[in-house]
Amino acid sequence: MLAGDLYIADDPEIEKAQRRAVRLAAEYEREFVRDPAAARPILAELLGELGEDANIRPPLYVDYGTHLTVGAGTFANCNLTALDVAPITVGRDCQIGPNVQLLTPTHPLEPKPRREKWEAAQPIVIADNVWLGGGAIVLPGVTIGENSVIGAGSVVTKDVPENVLALGNPARVIRSL
């Protein structure tokens, strides 16, 4: 799975790990409403790594959580969906708008293996100081370079270099920053 190999999506061990993630995400959301500082240890337990002063507003949706790394000083607004079948690395000091989707899973184009529930995944890397505008979608295998900005509602289908503004569907580099 993490290596990009095909796997069966409803494997019992996979389902167990996903239930853990759903439980912890729900606990995090409940506690965050009451006391954000007290909720942080729950978030740290859910994620693979949570940097100092990183802040993720609930609700947060993950497949596993353990394959999601969030750097120090990063802020993610509500409704972040990070399907971390493969590793998702978010750098330091990033800004993630509401309703952003980071999607590592892939599915076969052929009907038979898709019907049999085969899946694979490719990692996503978001470098330091990246801003993902609200509703942006980052697809499997994409790397976004340091200091870049992705416009709201953009669909990022391929790598984005550092220090650029990219937007649209599919996202295209508009200018250097």
Query: Catalytic site residues?
Result: 107
Task: Compute how many other C-beta atoms are within 10 angstroms of the C-beta atom of residue 136.
Answer: 25
State the DSSP code for 78.
Answer: S
Residue type, 165: L
Q: Would you say 62 and 44 are in contact if contact means Cβ atoms under 8 Å apart?
A: no
3 state SS of 164:
strand
Q: Which of 50, 53, 38 is nearest to 88 (CA)?
A: 50
Phi-psi region of 15 (alpha: psi -120 to 50; beta: other; left: phi over 0): alpha
- Scan for tokens 């954000």, then name that residue: 36
State the DSSP code for 28.
Answer: H
Q: Would you say 114 and 132 are in contact if contact means Cβ atoms under 8 Å apart?
A: no
Q: Which of 135, 105, 102 is nearest to 117 (CA)?
A: 105
